[in-house]
Amino acid sequence: FPSHDIVGTGKTYSTIQAAINAAQDDYNGTILVDPGTYNEELSFRLVFPGSTVDFAGTLRSSISGQKVIVDGTGKSTGAVDVNAQKSVSNTGGKGIYFEDFIFQNWNSSTNIILLDPTAPYASDRPPIGFTKCIFKNSTATAISYFLGTSTYESYCDRCLFLNVGTCIENASQYTRLKNCIFVPNSNNAVITQNGTTFYTIIENCSAYVAITGSIDAISAKNVYNTVVVNNSNSSYRDWE
């Protein structure tokens, strides 16, 4: 299945990464990806201002309601790696956004989604967003270093996390999870915080966990209209 870069050229590409590379220096584009299964590892490089930019914008299925599957079978790194170097502040909320994607079969030595933890300031980090996406059947952490900014949140909206490692690891300031369902593997958390004074918001979500011991299912300061069910007989803390 070809992936389509519709920004400017209308050309088609045989891999998603080829479309990302062809969209270099596009700060607000859209790549439409035909539904199907892609055995790929996707890499994004963002440098501000735009001396080296593969792509910043939205990747979505070309057919509404049909999913693009990024499959990790046989892969040694993660599905998506965002490397955000910088020289000035990331103005304009330049980031990466996925709609109608499935990420599946990623192993425990990887993170399915890894955001750059080395950007020196919170305002430098590119936001990332997921809408109607599914993370499933993986021993890997689903999203690591899930960080946003005071102006541009990182978010998951109407997403499903099913049989994965920790769903969200090292969440920090300006992260919002809404209308999501979380079913991590046994003894894995829904969300862990990077620090205790930040502003992760969880609203209208459901979490089904199987936790023993003192693991926190949810570590976040702002939890609203959210149900956590523990399928283990052990005591645990749902959030702090």
> Residue 165 in contact with residue 131, Cβ under 8 Å?
no
* Position 235 pLDDT exceeds 80: no
- Model pLDDT, residue 179: 98
* Residue position matching structure tokens 């590892």: 41
Q: Where is average pLDDT lowest: 81-95, 133-147, 190-204? A: 81-95
Whole-angstrom Cα distance, residue 42 to residue 82?
A: 9
User: Could you report the per-residue pLDDT of 114-136, keeping only the tens digit for each?
Assistant: 876 665 444 556 788 999 999 99
At residue 132, φ and ψ (nearest 5 deg) are 55, 45
In eight-state DSSP terms, residue 19 is H
User: Could you report the per-residue pLDDT of 142-152, keeping only the tens digit for each?
Assistant: 998 887 777 77
Whole-angstrom Cα distance, residue 211 to residue 199?
A: 25
* Position 199 pLDDT exceeds 80: no
- Model pLDDT, residue 238: 47
More confident of the two residues 114 and 141: 141
pTM above 0.85, yes or no: yes
Q: Region 81-100: what's the mean pLDDT? A: 69
Residue type, 151: T
Residue-averaged pLDDT of the chain: 79
The torsion angle over the Cα atoms of residues 25, 31, 37 and 42, rounded to 10 degrees, is: 20
User: Could you report the per-residue pLDDT of 152-197, keeping only the tens digit for each?
Assistant: 788 999 999 999 999 998 887 788 999 999 999 999 999 987 665 5
